[in-house]
Amino acid sequence: MSKESLSIADTRFVEPPAPNVFSDPTAKAELFSAGHYEKLGREVVARLPNYKQKYKSLMVTDQTEFVLGLLAHYRFPNGDRIKQVVEIGVYNGVNSLYMLKTGCSAAADFQLYGIDLGDTDFFGGAAIAESTPDELAHYHLHRACTALDVEKVLGEHNAGGGG
């Protein structure tokens, strides 16, 4: 829409273009140091059930809020949302659960890859128990793997034509 065609009566909310944090150091400092995404992420967490309490999560709340704020609101300079996340060290999967629900709401083609040394159902269990089948189609959990397997894990998914 051109500037000229906007009338004073047009009060629809138009999301401002994301500052380019890659090329503008000031924008980067403002966005990542002022608690901007933590505050946005707090609202995201508040709208979801209290999985953290239910599953006695080890996660640090500020870090979860920061990541969820990014997933829900960050846009790359080309307008894309975050579409792929690799979580190394999943534990019982509470952070995975929050990321999966938020990422799937923000981007239709979101994919979450989880990697953990653990080889039992406990690892990633909360994400598997609480996600819908649609959400689980976007969750790729790799137990009994380490950080050193990242390339292999992502390579397998990309070779399969998946996200």
Ligand X SMILES: C[S@@+](CC[C@H](N)C(=O)[O-])C[C@H]1O[C@@H](n2cnc3c(N)ncnc32)[C@H](O)[C@@H]1O
Which residues contact ligand X by CB under 6 A? 57-59, 87-91, 94-95, 115-118, 123, 146-147
- State the minimum distance, in angstroms, from the CB of residue 77 to ligand X: 29
- State the minimum distance, in angstroms, from the CB of residue 82 to ligand X: 17
Nearer to ligand X, 27 or 86 (CB): 86
Nearer to ligand X, 31 or 86 (CB): 86
C-beta neighbour count of 105 within 10 angstroms: 15
Q: Which residues contact 63 (CB under 8 A, 6 or more apart)?
A: none
Q: Closest-CB residue for ligand X?
A: 89
- State the minimum distance, in angstroms, from the CB of residue 123 to ligand X: 6
Q: What is the DSSP string of 18-71?
A: PP-TTT-HHHHHHHHHSSHHHHHHHHHHHHS--HHHHTT----HHHHHHHHHHH
